[in-house]
Amino acid sequence: MNVHTRAEVLLEALPYIKRFAGQVVVVKYGGNALAGSSDDQALGLFAQDLVLMRAVGMHPVVVHGGGPQISDLMKRLGKETEFRNGLRVTDAETVDIARMVLIGQVNPQLVAAINTHGPIAVGVSGEDAGLIKATPRDPELGFVGDVSAINPTILRGLIDDDFIPVVATIGTHDAGQAYNINADTVAGAIAEALGAEKLVYLTDIEGLRRQVDDPASLIHQTTPDELDQLVVDGVIAGGMIPKVESCVRAVRHGVRRAHILDGRIPHVLLLELFTDEGVGTMVRSPRELIQEGP
Amino acid sequence: MNVHTRAEVLLEALPYIKRFAGQVVVVKYGGNALAGSSDDQALGLFAQDLVLMRAVGMHPVVVHGGGPQISDLMKRLGKETEFRNGLRVTDAETVDIARMVLIGQVNPQLVAAINTHGPIAVGVSGEDAGLIKATPRDPELGFVGDVSAINPTILRGLIDDDFIPVVATIGTHDAGQAYNINADTVAGAIAEALGAEKLVYLTDIEGLRRQVDDPASLIHQTTPDELDQLVVDGVIAGGMIPKVESCVRAVRHGVRRAHILDGRIPHVLLLELFTDEGVGTMVRSPRELIQEGP
Amino acid sequence: MNVHTRAEVLLEALPYIKRFAGQVVVVKYGGNALAGSSDDQALGLFAQDLVLMRAVGMHPVVVHGGGPQISDLMKRLGKETEFRNGLRVTDAETVDIARMVLIGQVNPQLVAAINTHGPIAVGVSGEDAGLIKATPRDPELGFVGDVSAINPTILRGLIDDDFIPVVATIGTHDAGQAYNINADTVAGAIAEALGAEKLVYLTDIEGLRRQVDDPASLIHQTTPDELDQLVVDGVIAGGMIPKVESCVRAVRHGVRRAHILDGRIPHVLLLELFTDEGVGTMVRSPRELIQEGP
Amino acid sequence: MNVHTRAEVLLEALPYIKRFAGQVVVVKYGGNALAGSSDDQALGLFAQDLVLMRAVGMHPVVVHGGGPQISDLMKRLGKETEFRNGLRVTDAETVDIARMVLIGQVNPQLVAAINTHGPIAVGVSGEDAGLIKATPRDPELGFVGDVSAINPTILRGLIDDDFIPVVATIGTHDAGQAYNINADTVAGAIAEALGAEKLVYLTDIEGLRRQVDDPASLIHQTTPDELDQLVVDGVIAGGMIPKVESCVRAVRHGVRRAHILDGRIPHVLLLELFTDEGVGTMVRSPRELIQEGP
Amino acid sequence: MNVHTRAEVLLEALPYIKRFAGQVVVVKYGGNALAGSSDDQALGLFAQDLVLMRAVGMHPVVVHGGGPQISDLMKRLGKETEFRNGLRVTDAETVDIARMVLIGQVNPQLVAAINTHGPIAVGVSGEDAGLIKATPRDPELGFVGDVSAINPTILRGLIDDDFIPVVATIGTHDAGQAYNINADTVAGAIAEALGAEKLVYLTDIEGLRRQVDDPASLIHQTTPDELDQLVVDGVIAGGMIPKVESCVRAVRHGVRRAHILDGRIPHVLLLELFTDEGVGTMVRSPRELIQEGP
Amino acid sequence: MNVHTRAEVLLEALPYIKRFAGQVVVVKYGGNALAGSSDDQALGLFAQDLVLMRAVGMHPVVVHGGGPQISDLMKRLGKETEFRNGLRVTDAETVDIARMVLIGQVNPQLVAAINTHGPIAVGVSGEDAGLIKATPRDPELGFVGDVSAINPTILRGLIDDDFIPVVATIGTHDAGQAYNINADTVAGAIAEALGAEKLVYLTDIEGLRRQVDDPASLIHQTTPDELDQLVVDGVIAGGMIPKVESCVRAVRHGVRRAHILDGRIPHVLLLELFTDEGVGTMVRSPRELIQEGP
């Protein structure tokens, strides 16, 4: 590559570096986002993006789930899963398995991948320092919880010390009992509690569509109101609902922008952060559309 | 109990509260220490002790292992253990299991037990922020490591913010590979790196003995030199060796006192910290014996 | 005493230690509170209580009077006291004697007793750094003053540096003239100015009563409104009035609880602070009675 | 006075204001220094000088004695003084009287005089926060002590908060017993402990002389060595000895200059601080004489 | 001069030193103020005044113009000045000359004069750190600007570090183009932005008059309302208008007092700051006249 | 350009961004460096480079000369230049012109160019806050000075506040007289005083050569010792000597690397900072060559 091209790229990134300096960006990282490349390689690219974000002054916070890995260990342990109304019943043994996988397997994998660049990532569980308080969703489902409160003290401390927190989404009920919580929801709640600049979902889809079957209907920019309608209309369904609802809620509670990106594109985070080109779907408030332009 | 007795006890604790204010105390907590009472109850008592230590201004740091729990999960997964010269060979799958158990099962159990008293404990793995750097012990043993360096930055940050760090002893080799490391050794290395006031091992024995079979030969106070000799003489053997060697090394590198206590005694930590009565075995330097008296 | 009893007592104190950490507790110490034991011994016990309070993170502030000691010196100097409507007329010589006794005799006695435990107590007079501004009560009474303003700067500085301030209640009028001020009133005003958690009067009675002659009518908990009524009804009278009025005013201005304790009970401060058992009379707002329970 | 004269005076003071900004000046104030004017007036002038020193950025620290006032109270109380080898025997009652006078009478007088200018002076006794540790001088003399250690923590705190500390020279022996200590000696020890720029004695003589009876032999500048010789030769004697020895010791331990001034001259402190004209006797090291000139 | 006179003068200055400690005083220094003495000498006296102000804790900020010096360089460069409606047309070359003279000639002269007393003055241009944002006054006049915004960040930083900022009044329009701005206006805008205690204009007149030709009508104290009227009535005219309007605006926006002084009087700043005698014209709000007296 | 190329470039810059975070880089900017492009455009590119350096956490400090611009103004003012032994004689008028041009023309041009990106650049003259103390080089040359001392206080303050200081190289002799000082020498002295990571000269040559006429002998890396020899051998001569001597001195006094770059290459600073490719000549100590590799 021509040496002058490099200067050009660096200078193109300059306004974004300045705009995002000191800002918190919460990134939800899901296992499914990595399709199309070997896991390890995708993880390495993702780690590079985080390290660069931090190097230019941003504060990335990673939130991850681990559904496939939980299913895998349950299978190896010969543990059957019971479903009720399409939702997995989480008994005491299941939540222990989920905890073991999320905190003891997926989380350290992410931490280790980032830390090949230096001692900068720290794994955090929702049980640490009361980060995630859970409330039971439905007695029949067992230890499946909703977020009742976020105590961001531990995250702020790590951010102030320039660490990259990596959050496993196990929450605690009052009596100290662990609950498994939807990672998409946690990511939104943490973005809100930290007053994040951005909330980013890395998924395995190109972005949201206005018509399910029409790739040309990809939504580049949208608002909370439009998304509410798309959910009501059934256009957005299934696993996208917690993501979309979290985006809507976060943008309405002070997060400046929420994004649904295609995690299969290498370095999609950098592309979103350092270019004007539309990647995936961006959610922002209608008020901002008027005031600031793109 | 008479109300005046209470005042008396509080006042007896006063000189110890003053002496230990602001000091770091590293406590190695092993599963075997809990024999003689149900696990949950023992864990609850231990958590109370930590919370009281913190309430009066000390900085406890917990280091834990989890050998029995690792064996248990291996068994459930049908994984055979190969031994070479009496030592377990730790292949890639084994270290993944160890990581899952230590970080994802034992660590959050401890954190949750403490956090029933408030949002004060934070789980930390040796992979977080480069806390424990490992070096392979023997290629034939696989991913079993020794401590090559401690980076206490993350612990100091948590201590400064008045959290109780709970450390799972997985270390990282240069390329980011996880290694399983002896928790006794890690406890000593962390005490040394933090300039701790005390290093405490909670075990399932009453203390060290000068003659193996003679309970009357229990050692109340000793020095590094005497311990060296007892190891040479074969009086100290087996699983006690890493504990004793860590005590010796820590005391020689600035930790003021090291203790081997009987974790089966309820609140043994409080008894050691707030009374003059001898509980278990205390190691300190001969120089201090001369200068300060008991 | 059984070693395990000790652990139990320490753990019982734990919630109180946590609740009061970093809180200011203003203690009015009066000479009469010490009846029933030799002065020196009682003073030593009181000093221990203060040192323990400080050791577990509280900020005690001592306010003292010294009426008997003033009378004593006046007698030795052959100075007659004139009374008008039952109140002592304080001429220039009398206020100089009061100042000498309070600042130069009682105050250093308290400071010295505490400082046998370390260099932690500092004597402060109301003249220091404008701490107590006085306004004359009645021209006929001479240099007897009421508190017109508290400037807590010097106290805050000492508290921040972890000292125990011991306050002698001489105030200053605008022109720099010293005035003698009721120590009970000063204690309340200082508690209010510092936003104290507690205001405690150590007296020589068991507590307030609902009927003067009926020991069984001892008041364990009460409210400002009830106390107002008891004063109107004449149940509370004499030297208790400034104490009770100060309690009422302090609780109405943000001090969480005020206490009238029997200073003749050894370590009564510790008993009040670290047990739930009722000692003496506690005043708190009706609003708190509803919200928090005991 | 001509308005331009004022500008001239202010500008002449400028280099001194700059030189002394942020510096500590310890001033020993003795009752005898005030002869020739009514006490109150002299005290008012002295207070003005201190307030001006502080206003232009210096940190004055006042140390005072009170011999005449102690004798006066002893007489009023009918207390006889016993002398042994010309030194007053200080029994328990005598030291209590000294404490009462120094801390409770002289000290608040000084504090009050300064505080007519604002809430800036704070009385401190040597018993506060372990400021003056005393060691008994001679068992036969009773509670007369020498300085064994200065703990300047409390003074540094007050200086940092821009207060003017006023020190009464009662010290404490290990067991908490009060001792009366020579105020000249304390002033020197405090100047040394604070690394003062200047140590100033306000006396009732014009300055030191080389020949006792010859006013023309007034010493304007001298060195520790010359003063040592004058003491050996008996030229300096009696009450001047502790002053001179303290000057010598202080200058040899880092205090830049020591002064013996005539406290009977109004505003003599200002004259010394803000003019080059010689007032009284200045002591400085020979090394400085060579390096810096006058 | 008698040594005691000196003490008297210093003490007379004391209340002013106390009142102005830590306050910002913005001084507009104009070349014409120096008539009646050689420039260098007047500059030296002015520098002394600033250094004294700083030595006693005030924060002087100097704002200067340089009209005569600009005219002089234009003449030397053979550059003709075009006037339109009596105002100088400032083309690109003219603004470059103004910039060169103000920033490169007058400003360093002032800085150097002050810095003969120590490294305390720092030259600042309105282009530095966005200090003065300009808006074009009239397209026909070219690069003559009005103040559209003051960004006082750089001044606050220098003041906090105890430097004396010396401001050259070149402003910047959005695209980075330099504009020449009236220094009187800038002085007022900076005083307002810094919340200054005082705004002082050093001029070559004795003060404002109520009747132009009557020296006896000199105004000692006035209010914004009266000044508005005097401008409407045409009593105040010409070059005094920007000064008077800036005084009026500043006093209405929080600056406590504005002064128009005769810069030809040596040390006029000190006389104004440290005596009660009226020098020149003082502007303050009618509200203050009622509340505080003179 | 392909979007993925951008990610690649950003990631290539990552190790350099990390290495230089928080480091000071002193850049000497000379008018002659800009040949081959219009001045304004080159200045704009240079400003972009500085802004990017700051955005990624570096602390650039700019030092500039202005020889051609000084000559130009002298010519316009009809001022003849006298030479003695090939060196320009600088009389009082000449140094005034130099000051006017450097501080009032070149410096604000640089400041304004940077500040089109935000309020981040601040012009500083060597006269500000005693930054550059000068000593006369030779009485016959008049006001030409050498650096006798650097007082970096003002630069550290600006750097701490995240400003980009732009330094005009006028120094001050003791009496406040301005001296013109070689900007190459000043750049080296400032780099040394600030403990800079890098000292960079932007020139109008490709780099140093080992043989003057052989472009193939361009020196990519060298050491102070080799440069000393090249000066002795006469290979380095003329205007390069102060640059080379400053590089040598700076590297010997703690600056890690010095560079002589071709300022005619657009964005040459970025290329040097963010790629491994050799641009121009780099000077570093032989010790580092051994220890760190390229």
Q: Which residue has the higher pLDDT, F263 or B283?
A: B283
> What is the count of residue pairs from C and D with beta carbons less than 8 Å apart?
118
Over range B175-180, report the average pLDDT: 91
For strands F164-168 and F144-150, give the pairing. unpaired
Instruction: Read off the DSSP letter of residue D142.
Output: B
CB-nearest partner of F57 from A13, A51, A57:
A57
Cα B79–Cα B81–Cα B85 angle in degrees, nearest 5 = 170
pLDDT of residue F34: 45
Q: How confident is the model at residue D1 (pLDDT cuts 50, 70, 90)?
A: low
Q: How confident is the model at residue C3 (pLDDT cuts 50, 70, 90)?
A: low
Mean pLDDT of chain A: 89
Residue type (1 letter), B90 = T
CA count, 13 A, side-chain hemisphere, E288: 16
pLDDT of residue A204: 86
Over range B214-223, report the average pLDDT: 94
**What is the tens place of the pLDDT at every residue in C197-211?**
999 999 988 999 999
Does C1 touch chain B if contact means CB atoms closer than 8 Å?
A: yes
The whole-angstrom separation of Cα D218 and Cα D208 is 6
Over range F58-75, report the average pLDDT: 93
CA–CA distances in Å: residue C107 to residues C170, D126, F11: 11, 13, 69
Q: CB distance D12–E6 less than 8 Å? A: yes
Over range D216-227, report the average pLDDT: 94
Q: Which residues of chain E have pLDDT under 70?
A: 1, 3, 31-39, 276, 278, 287-294
Q: Which residue has the higher pLDDT, E187 or A11?
A: E187
pLDDT of residue C39: 63
- The region of weakest confidence among B14-23, C224-233, D83-92, F49-58 is D83-92
CB-nearest partner of E48 from D3, D11, D51:
D11
Contact C264, C207 (CB under 8 A): no
Residue type (1 letter), F268 = V
Task: Specify the DSSP element, H or E, that contains F166.
Answer: strand F164-168
- Indicate if the pLDDT at residue B18 is higher than 90: no
**What is the tens place of the pLDDT at every residue in D130-179?**
999 999 999 889 999 999 999 999 999 999 999 999 999 999 998 889 99
Distance from CA of C16 to the nearest CA of D (A): 27
**What is the tens place of the pLDDT at every residue in A38-60?**
567 889 889 999 999 998 899 99
Beta bridge partners of B149: B133
Radius of gyration of chain A measured on its C-alpha atoms: 19
Q: CB distance C5–B7 less than 8 Å? A: no
Over range B30-43, report the average pLDDT: 62
Does D171 touch chain C if contact means CB atoms closer than 8 Å?
A: no
ipTM score assigned to the predicted complex: 0.92
Does A93 touch chain B if contact means CB atoms closer than 8 Å?
A: no
CB-nearest partner of C267 from B4, B48, B267:
B4
Distance from CA of C10 to the nearest CA of D (A): 29
- Indicate if the pLDDT at residue F165 is higher than 50: yes
**What is the tens place of the pLDDT at every residue in E164-202?**
999 999 999 988 899 999 999 999 999 999 999 999 999
Does A22 touch chain F if contact means CB atoms closer than 8 Å?
A: no
Q: How confident is the model at residue D292 (pLDDT cuts 50, 70, 90)?
A: very low
F243 is catalytic: yes
For residue D277, what is the nearest residue in chain E, using CA coordinates? E3
Distance from CA of B174 to the nearest CA of A (A): 8
- Indicate if the pLDDT at residue B293 is higher than 50: no
The whole-angstrom separation of Cα E126 and Cα E146 is 12
Q: How confident is the model at residue B31 (pLDDT cuts 50, 70, 90)?
A: low
From E137, E272, D97, D261, select the one nearest C104 (Cα to Cα): D97
Q: Which residue has the higher pLDDT, C83 or A80?
A: A80
For strands C281-283 and C221-222, give the pairing. parallel
State both tokens at D185: 């000696």
Catalytic residue among A67, A145, A171, A280: A67
Over range F5-21, report the average pLDDT: 84
Q: How confident is the model at residue F85 (pLDDT cuts 50, 70, 90)?
A: confident
- Indicate if the pLDDT at residue F7 is higher than 60: yes
Q: CB distance E267–D7 less than 8 Å? A: yes
Contact E184, E9 (CB under 8 A): no
Does F123 touch chain E if contact means CB atoms closer than 8 Å?
A: yes
Mean pLDDT of chain C: 89
Does F157 touch chain E if contact means CB atoms closer than 8 Å?
A: yes
Does E274 touch chain D if contact means CB atoms closer than 8 Å?
A: yes
Distance from CA of F189 to the nearest CA of E (A): 18
pLDDT of residue D84: 81
Distance from CA of C51 to the nearest CA of D (A): 13
Q: Listing from the earlier edge strand, what are the strands of the sheet with D121-125?
A: D121-125, D164-168, D59-64, D24-29, D198-203, D257-262, D281-283, D221-222
Residue type (1 letter), D191 = A
pLDDT of residue F10: 84
Does B277 touch chain C if contact means CB atoms closer than 8 Å?
A: yes
Contact D170, D128 (CB under 8 A): no
CB-nearest partner of B11 from C3, C18, C52:
C52
A118 is catalytic: no
Beta bridge partners of C218: C209
Does D52 touch chain E if contact means CB atoms closer than 8 Å?
A: yes
- The region of weakest confidence among B59-68, C129-138, D234-243, D278-287 is D278-287
Q: Which residue has the higher pLDDT, C66 or B239?
A: C66
Over range D224-232, report the average pLDDT: 95
From C201, C203, C185, select the one nearest C32 (Cα to Cα): C203
pLDDT of residue B294: 42
**What is the tens place of the pLDDT at every residue in C175-184?**
889 999 999 9
pLDDT of residue D293: 40
pLDDT of residue E11: 84
For residue C166, what is the nearest residue in chain D, using CA coordinates? D128
State both tokens at B133: 């750097």
pLDDT of residue B34: 45
- Indicate if the pLDDT at residue C154 is higher than 90: yes
Residues 6 or more apart in contact with residue C241 via CB below 8 angstroms: C231
Over range B127-135, report the average pLDDT: 97
Percentage of residues in chain B with pLDDT exceeding 90?
67
Residue with tokens 């602001």: B22
Instruction: Read off the DSSP letter of residue A266.
Output: T
**Which residues of D fall within a CB distance of 8 Å from E4?**
266-267, 271
Chains A and D are in contact, defined as 3 or more C-beta pairs closer than 8 angstroms = no
The whole-angstrom separation of Cα F27 and Cα F199 is 6
Q: Exposed, middle or buried: residue E99 (CB in 10 Å: 0-12, 13-18, 19+)?
A: buried
